[in-house]
C-alpha cells in the first residue's frame, strides 16, 4: 500500500507552489518563477515537476504556456526532460548550482557527560522499530475512513478495548473500555485532572515526600498545593493523610526510593478514600518491570471507584511516543472528557491504532518481556559490581524498575555528586526529588538509572560510579 502511494506520487509529480508575476507576459513570468525556485534551492536537483496539464490547471494557464516555459528552461539547462521520466530539475554542476539546502539530518548530540546514569529513560536503542512499523502498517491498512476525521477525546475504541484486556491481565486493573480515557502521558493526565476551572479534582493533593519535581511544578503551575507524606521502609505514611481529598502515590515502585507500598497501607489508603469520599491517583509508571517473584498488582483492583489508575508507554516503549491512559471511576469520566475538549487534540489517532495493534498482536508483551530480561541483567550487574567493589554501600529499590538507589551515609550526598561530576558521571542525588515542605529526615543517596547506557558503555559507567563512592568506614577500635 505504501509502495503504491509512492508510485503515484512519482507519476503525478511534486505539488508546486509558484506565483508567476511581473512584466513580459505569462510565459515569461512562469519562467522567472521556476528559475527562482531552482536557484533558491526550493526545488532540489532531481525533483520531478508536475505534468503540464496539472500545473496549467493549478495556475490557470494554457497548457502550451507551461509546455513552452518547461522547454525554454530545458534549453537553458535548468531542467531536464527525458522520455518516460518527465521533466526534472537538472543536477547542475557545483559551480553554477544554486545555494543548496543542506540535507535534513538529526542534529549532532550535544556533548554530554561521559557516563549517563540518569534515571528516567528506557534503553533508546531497544525501541521495537520493526514491530511498531508492522503494527502501524497493519493499522493504517485496516483503518476505516472515519479514522482520518476528528478524533473522539476518549481515544480510539480499539485502543481502549486492547488496554482493558491488557491492564486486567498484566496489572490486575478492573475496568471496561468506557472508563478508559487516552491521553499523552502521565503529565497530561495530571493537567486534565487538575485543569484550572475544571470539574474533576482540586487541591490540596497529598504526594510522597520524595517524587518527581517536574510533577510538583506542573501541579503548582495549575494552582494545586501539594502536601508531602513522609516515607519509611513500607512506603508512604498514609496514616498521615489529613484534610486532602486526593493523594498521588507510586504504589508498585515508590519513585524514586524504590520500595512497594506495603499491603497494609494499600488497604489503608483505599479505606481512607472510602471514608472521606477521596480518591487515590495511582501512578503505575514502571509497573511492567518487576524482577522478583512477588507480583505487585495495581491498587485500583481493590476498589475501581476509589482509584484513578494512570499509565503510559514512557518506560515500556519510549517517552517520545507520548501515549498514556487513565482508568477512571465512573463519576470522573465526563469531567475528564470535558477537560480534553471536543476533539482529540493530543494523542495521534494513528499512534493510538498502532499501539492497539501492538497490544492485540502480542508484540507489546514480547517487547516488555525482552526488556524485562535485559534490565534485570543490567540490575544484576550493578548489584554484583557494588557487592564486589563497594560492599559497604546499601543498594535499595532493585526489585523493580529501571533505576536503583544507593544509600549513602548522612551528609555525604553532595560531595559524592561533586566527585561524580568530576568523573563525567551524570546521575541525581535523592535531594533532587525531595519535597521542599517535608519534615521527614533527609535520606542521602544516589539514584542510578541503569537502562540508558548502551550495552558497550555500561561497564565503564559502573567502573566510574564505583570510583566516586565513599570509601568503606574504618573499623572502630576492637572492643574487649
Ligand atoms: C514517577 C513517574 N511518573 C510518570 C512518568 C511518566 O510520565 P509521562 O507518561 O508523562 O512520560 C515518569 C517518567 O517516565 C515517572 O518517572
Q: What is the DSSP string of 207-250?
A: EESB--HHHHHHHHHTT--EEEEPEETTEE-GGG--S-SEEEE-
Give the model's pLDDT for residue 2. Answer: 41
Query: What SS3 class is residue 181?
Result: strand
How many other C-beta atoms can be found within 10 angstroms of the C-beta atom of residue 114?
A: 13
Contact 270, 280 (CB under 8 A): yes
Q: Kindly indicate the confidence band of residue 101, based on its pLDDT and cuts at 50, 70 and 90.
A: low
Q: 420 CA distance to ligand 1 centroid (A)?
A: 25
Specify the ligand 1 atom closest to the Cα of 315: 14
Q: Pick the residue whose CA is nearest to atom 14 on ligand 1.
A: 314
Q: Is 394 left (phi over 0), alpha (psi -120 to 50) or beta?
A: beta
How many other C-beta atoms can be found within 10 angstroms of the C-beta atom of residue 108?
A: 6
Give the model's pLDDT for residue 13. Answer: 62
How far apart CA 345 and CA 15 sit, in angstroms, is 28
How far apart CA 14 and CA 305 sit, in angstroms, is 55
Q: Pick the residue whose CA is nearest to atom 2 on ligand 1.
A: 285
No. of H helices and E strands in the chain?
A: 14, 17
- In this structure, of 90-94, 181-185, 261-265, the range with the lowest mean pLDDT score is 90-94
Q: What is the DSSP string of 110-148?
A: PP--SEE--SS---GGG--HHHHHHHHHHHHHH--GGGG
Q: 215 CA distance to ligand 1 centroid (A)?
A: 9
Rounded to an integer, the average pLDDT of 195-219 is: 94
Alpha carbon distance, N-terminus to C-terminus of the chain: 84
Q: 419 CA distance to ligand 1 centroid (A)?
A: 28
Specify the ligand 1 atom closest to the Cα of 312: 9
How far apart CA 131 and CA 364 sit, in angstroms, is 8
Q: What is the DSSP string of 414-430?
A: HHHHHHHHHTTEE-EEG
How far apart CA 253 and CA 289 sit, in angstroms, is 10
Specify the ligand 1 atom closest to the Cα of 121: 14
Instruction: Identify each DSSP E strand in 363-422 by its residue range.
Output: 394-396, 403-407
Name the CA radius of gyration of the chain, rounded.
29
Contact 307, 270 (CB under 8 A): yes
How far apart CA 66 and CA 27 sit, in angstroms, is 7
Average per-residue pLDDT for the chain: 91
At residue 406, φ and ψ (nearest 5 deg) are -100, 115
Grid coordinates belonging to 274? 472510602
Is the per-residue pLDDT at 8 higher than 50? no
- In this structure, of 120-124, 354-358, 377-381, the range with the lowest mean pLDDT score is 120-124
Neighbouring residues of 251: CB distance < 8 A, sequence distance ≥ 6: 235, 260, 261, 266, 282, 284, 296, 298, 299
Contact 314, 280 (CB under 8 A): no
Q: Please give the residue that has the higher pLDDT: either 48 or 272.
A: 272
At residue 223, φ and ψ (nearest 5 deg) are 80, 20
Q: Kindly indicate the confidence band of residue 4, based on its pLDDT and cuts at 50, 70 and 90.
A: very low
Give the model's pLDDT for residue 253. Answer: 95
Which domains does the chain show, CATH number per domain? 2-89 (1.10.10.10), 128-361 (3.40.640.10), 366-468 (3.90.1150.10)
Protein residues whose CB sits closer than 6 Å to any atom of ligand 1: 120, 185-187, 212, 250, 255, 283, 285, 312, 314-315, 319, 324
Is the per-residue pLDDT at 472 higher than 80? yes
Neighbouring residues of 424: CB distance < 8 A, sequence distance ≥ 6: 113, 114, 115, 464
Rounded to an integer, the average pLDDT of 444-450 is: 97
Mutate to test the pocket of ligand 1, among 184, 186, 316 (most ligand atoms within 8 A of CB): 186
Residue 396, beta-bridge partner list: 405
Q: Kindly indicate the confidence band of residue 18, based on its pLDDT and cuts at 50, 70 and 90.
A: confident
Q: Pick the residue whose CA is nearest to atom 5 on ligand 1.
A: 285
Give the model's pLDDT for residue 100. Answer: 45
Q: Please give the residue that has the higher pLDDT: either 116 or 454.
A: 116
Grid coordinates belonging to 79? 531542467
Length of the chain: 480
Considering only CA atoms, which of 191, 245, 249 is closest in space to residue 223?
191
At residue 103, φ and ψ (nearest 5 deg) are -60, 150
How far apart CA 380 and CA 372 sit, in angstroms, is 12
How far apart CA 52 and CA 79 sit, in angstroms, is 14
Give the model's pLDDT for residue 109. Answer: 53
Give the model's pLDDT for residue 108. Answer: 54
Contact 460, 149 (CB under 8 A): no
Q: 124 CA distance to ligand 1 centroid (A)?
A: 16
Give the model's pLDDT for residue 478. Answer: 58
Neighbouring residues of 77: CB distance < 8 A, sequence distance ≥ 6: 90, 92
Chain Cα centroid distance, residue 359: 17
Rounded to an integer, the average pLDDT of 100-114 is: 60
Pairing of the two strands 425-426 and 180-183: unpaired
Rounded to an integer, the average pLDDT of 236-249 is: 96
- What are the start-end ranges of the H helices in 245-296? 263-276
- In this structure, of 16-20, 109-113, 405-409, the range with the lowest mean pLDDT score is 109-113
Amino acid at each position: 500500500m505504501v509502495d503504491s502511494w509512492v508510485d503515484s506520487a512519482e507519476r503525478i509529480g511534486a505539488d508546486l507552489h509558484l506565483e508567476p508575476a511581473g512584466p513580459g507576459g505569462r510565459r515569461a513570468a512562469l519562467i522567472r518563477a521556476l528559475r527562482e525556485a531552482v536557484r533558491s534551492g526550493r526545488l532540489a536537483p532531481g525533483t520531478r515537476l508536475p505534468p503540464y496539464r496539472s500545473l496549467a490547471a493549478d495556475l490557470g494557464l494554457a497548457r502550451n504556456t507551461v509546455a513552452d516555459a518547461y522547454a525554454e528552461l530545458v534549453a537553458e539547462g535548468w531542467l531536464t526532460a527525458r522520455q518516460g521520466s518527465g521533466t526534472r530539475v537538472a543536477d547542475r554542476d557545483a559551480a553554477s548550482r544554486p545555494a543548496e539546502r543542506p540535507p535534513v539530518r538529526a542534529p549532532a548530540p550535544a556533548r554530554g557527560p561521559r557516563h549517563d546514569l540518569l534515571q528516567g529513560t528506557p534503553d533508546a536503542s531497544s525501541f521495537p522499530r520493526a514491530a511498531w512499523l508492522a503494527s502501524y502498517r497493519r493499522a493504517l491498512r485496516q483503518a476505516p475512513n472515519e479514522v482520518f476525521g476528528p478524533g473522539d477525546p476518549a481515544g480510539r475504541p480499539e485502543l481502549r478495548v486492547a488496554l482493558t484486556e491488557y491492564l486486567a491481565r498484566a496489572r490486575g486493573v478492573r475496568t471496561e473500555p468506557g472508563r478508559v480515557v487516552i491521553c499523552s502521558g502521565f503529565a497530561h493526565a495530571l493537567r486534565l485532572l487538575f485543569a484550572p476551572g475544571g470539574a474533576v479534582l482540586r487541591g490540596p493533593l497529598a504526594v510522597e515526600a520524595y517524587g518527581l519535581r517536574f510533577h510538583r511544578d506542573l501541579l503548582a503551575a495549575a494552582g494545586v498545593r501539594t502536601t508531602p507524606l513522609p516515607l519509611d521502609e513500607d512506603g508512604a505514611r498514609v496514616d498521615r493523610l489529613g484534610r486532602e481529598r486526593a493523594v498521588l502515590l507510586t504504589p508498585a515502585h515508590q519513585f524514586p526510593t524504590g520500595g512497594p507500598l506495603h499491603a497494609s497501607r494499600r488497604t489503608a489508603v483505599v479505606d481512607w478514600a472510602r471514608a472521606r469520599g477521596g480518591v487515590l491517583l495511582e501512578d503505575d509508571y514502571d509497573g511492567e518491570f518487576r524482577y522478583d517473584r512477588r507480583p505487585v498488582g495495581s491498587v485500583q483492583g481493590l476498589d475501581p471507584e476509589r482509584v484513578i489508575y494512570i499509565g503510559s508507554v514512557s518506560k515500556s516503549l519510549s517517552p517520545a511516543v507520548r501515549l498514556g491512559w487513565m482508568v477512571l471511576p465512573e463519576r470522573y469520566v465526563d469531567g475528564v472528557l470535558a477537560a480534553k475538549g471536543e476533539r482529540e487534540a493530543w494523542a495521534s489517532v494513528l499512534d493510538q491504532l498502532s499501539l492497539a495493534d501492538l497490544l492485540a498482536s502480542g508484540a507489546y508483551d514480547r517487547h516488555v518481556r525482552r526488556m524485562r530480561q535485559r534490565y534485570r541483567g543490567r540490575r544484576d550487574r550493578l548489584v554484583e559490581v557494588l557487592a564486589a567493589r563497594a560492599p559497604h554501600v546499601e543498594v535499595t529499590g532493585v526489585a523493580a524498575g529501571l533505576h536503583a538507589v544507593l544509600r549513602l551515609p548522612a551528609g555525604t550526598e553532595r560531595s559524592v555528586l561533586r566527585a561524580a561530576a568530576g568523573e563525567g558521571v551524570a546521575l541525581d542525588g535523592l535531594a533532587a526529588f525531595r519535597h521542599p515542605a517535608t519534615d521527614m529526615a533527609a535520606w542521602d543517596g544516589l539514584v542510578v538509572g541503569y537502562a540508558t547506557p548502551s550495552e558497550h558503555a555500561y561497564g565503564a559507567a559502573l567502573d566510574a560510579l564505583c570510583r566516586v563512592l565513599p570509601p568503606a568506614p574504618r573499623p572502630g577500635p576492637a572492643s574487649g
